[in-house]
Structure 1
Amino acid sequence: MTPTEGILGLLTAAVAGNPASVFIEKVSAAIEGGLKPWQLRRVASAEMDASVIKAEGDGKIAEIQQRAALRVAAEEVRNQQNIEAAIIKALPNIKADAKPEEMDNDWLANFFDKCRLISNEEMQKLWAQVLAGEANSPGSFSHRTINFLSSMSQKDAEDFRLLCSYGWYNENGSMTPVIFKIESEDLPIKISFNQFQHLEDIGLIKFQSGMFSNSYSLLKNCNTFSYLGRVYEIKCKSDSDASEKDRGVSIGKIILTKLGDELALVCQPVQDEKVVEYTFKVWEHNHIITEVIK
């Protein structure tokens, strides 16, 4: 099945008016001509030019012009395949309460202009997650993040996914990677200093290299954090008059940048029980931790 056939089939199966159907209509309009390839006119023109050139003669210039026209046609077909592959991969992740009709047209134009060049299967999945995430909650991903994503390699994505394996989620749904020592043999999921440094160099994280760690302030009697789908209440062992600093939960040396925050929404890290053990060894010094049973 070609990408275009796949989208046609999904549109046929979609219920009119539901988020998936609205999503398909929105992105189809954004790539010009609905479900027809947005480059159709350019492809047709290039193929016609190639035929005319071939009919005019076999001179050297005509041959070069013909090859150029065929190259343009092949390039546009490949671009369209990449775009439609991202759409197909995004569709299963459209939520029932998604608001694709609110997606910004300029954002979509920028997204498709960049993702048309992405043919790597794994990177297409990441782009699809971003597209679905924006449809689910318009405004989640900035133009800057899309522009950054266009220069991100598969190795960059793998390193960031590895980092996010340490991610704990607070009550607001924000994710923070909790890593206490950057250069440590105790890390249950191994990440080298060079990997940390590279993630900082490309703008996804900032890390504190001094003796002090960052902390998350507990401003209530208890706060909750989650990992592996389990929720934990964190209470300070100190009395209620303890300073904000003393009540804080150490979150280690890493802080996500704005770019990192947005990409953390879609990186799909592999979580590990050993990360819970690693984190609790530090948190239990000054805090009482209780799993919330739901």
Structure 2
Amino acid sequence: MEIKDLTGLSEPLKKLIEVISQGVGALSKPYLIRKTADAKAYEIKVIAESIKANQKSLKQIDYNEEKLSLASIDGESIKAELSLEERTKNRTDFKQQKKQKNIEVITQKAAEQLESESTVSEEPVDEDWTTRFFDYAEDISNEEMQEIWARILAGEIKQPRSYSLRTLELIRNLSKDEANTFMKVAKFAIKSGDSHFLFKGKDGKILNEEYNINYGDTALLTEIGLIQPGAFVNYQILQQPQDSQSVFTTDKIILIAKIKANTPTITMPVDVFSKSGNELLKLVSPNPPFDYLKAIADSIKSDNVEVKYAYIMAWEGNSIRHTQPLLDF
């Protein structure tokens, strides 16, 4: 794709194309701007034509109503008709076509993520990150996992350094079931400062007893590196010589705890997300049940601590614009 071909595209899509050119060389503009349904039909037709042209081991290939059907010849016929070199070439060609298809599906989904964006960071995406991303992405065939990789690519284009190389390595080895477990648990994430945690309740059982998040779920996420290890971890609001406040947020609600001076340190048993876990939470919109938020407030409240909440209207940099007045639990 030449520079003149970028005319008429938004800045986010232009940046996406530049990143693709660093990682895989080129991708056609028409492919990027097709809508999902058209793109699926288009890509299948291209694959069908490519396989038909290169796979001598196929007797018949048909495309009808967005469905692809292949009919291959039997093993004896292959032995009779193809040499070892030809069979090796066919296998290599097929693997390369599949890798190319995976990359194109992921970049198409990333383009759809960026279509609604008007601007992106002018900071370039690191070339090493781009190379590593496409090296991994070409092996991602599962549709749900392709969606995750597409959102990561779009997120990195919008704001470089959002996802570390360590996180890419972790996601590369993430199974569909492990990803589903993370999504299940992540909806209960509470943010404080730059980190997220899971509130476990005073007896450590609230997630299990009330919301079906069991020990196996959090143990799995700890094992694969999305939750920090440690069985007895506490979130602490430290004693201060002056009045202070602590802020907790979900996707839609902000909790504000106003603490009087010299209030003894407050502790809450929690599971803390790792650096990679915090990065992956950018793909999720944590929105826990209100009763869960109330349990957090009840664990903090005292004669010296007042906890109220409001609905988030917008994030403005590091500031939050929310509804007024603050509400009691």
Q: In the alignment, which of 272, 287, 292 is matched to residue 305 of structure 2?
A: 287
Equivalent residue for 2:108?
A: 88
Q: What does residue 139 of structure 2 align with?
A: 117
1:176-191 mapped onto 2 (5 Å cutoff): 176-180=197-201, 181-184=203-206, 187-191=209-213
Residues 21-77 of structure 1: CA deviation (Å, up to 9, x unaligned):
22223223421134399xxxxxx9xx78979xxxxxx97695222122111111111
Tell me: CA distance 1:193–1:88, structure 2 relative to 1, closer, same or farther (3 Å). same
Larger RCO of the pair (alpha carbons < 8 Å, separation 6+): 1
Given the alignment, which residue of 235, 256, 263 partners 1:242? 263
Cα 1:70–1:269 shift into 2, 3 Å? farther
Task: State which drifts further: 92-101 or 151-160.
Answer: 92-101
The answer as to 2:154 corresponding to 1:132 is yes
The CA deviation at 1:218 is 7.8
Identical counterparts, % of pairs? 22
The normalised TM-score by structure 2 is 0.68
8 Å CA contact 1:228–1:273 kept in 2: the answer is no
Look up the match of 2:182.
160
Residue 223 to residue 144, structure 1, CA distance change in 2 (3 Å): same
Higher strand share: 2
Taking structure 1 as the reference length, what is the TM-score of the superposition? 0.76
AA of the residue aligned to 2:97 = V
Structure 1 moving runs of 4+ over 6 Å: 11-14, 47-51, 58-61
Unpaired runs of 5+ residues, structure 1, are: 1-7, 38-43, 52-57
Per-residue deviation at 1:175? 2.8
Match of 1:26, as an amino acid? V
Q: What one-letter code is carried by the residue in structure 2 that aligns with 1:291? A: Y
Number of corresponding residues? 263
Partner of 2:25: 32
Q: Please tell me whether the aligned partners of residues 215 and 249 of structure 1 are also in contact (alpha carbons under 8 angstroms).
A: yes
Shift of 1:217: 4.4
**After the TM superposition, which residues 60-79 of structure 1 pair with which residues of structure 2 at under 5 Å, given as runs?**
62-79=82-99
Letter in 2 for 1:264: L
1:176-229 Cα offsets, whole Å, 9 max, x none, are 32223544576432111122211111111125424x633254876223222251
Distance 2:251 2:167 in 1: 27
> Could you say if the C-alpha distance between residues 178 and 122 of structure 1 is closer, same or farther in structure 2, counting changes exceeding 3 Å?
same
State the distance in 1 between where 2:148 and 2:99 align. Answer: 17
Is 1:253 aligned to 2:270, yes or no?
yes
In structure 2, the residue corresponding to 1:177 is in which secondary structure? strand
Alpha-carbon RMSD across the aligned residues, in angstroms, is: 3.4
Q: Summarize deviations over 1:142-199 as a string: whole Å, max 9, x none.
A: 11111111100111111112221221223x4543322235445764321111222111
Q: In 2, are the aligned partners of 1:162 and 1:270 still within 8 Å (CA)?
A: no
Q: 1:64 to 1:144 in 2, by over 3 A?
A: same
Which residue of structure 1 lines up, in the alignment, with residue 172 of structure 2?
Answer: 150
Please give the residue correspondences for 1:196-211 in structure 2 after superposition, counting only pairs within 5 Å.
196-210=218-232
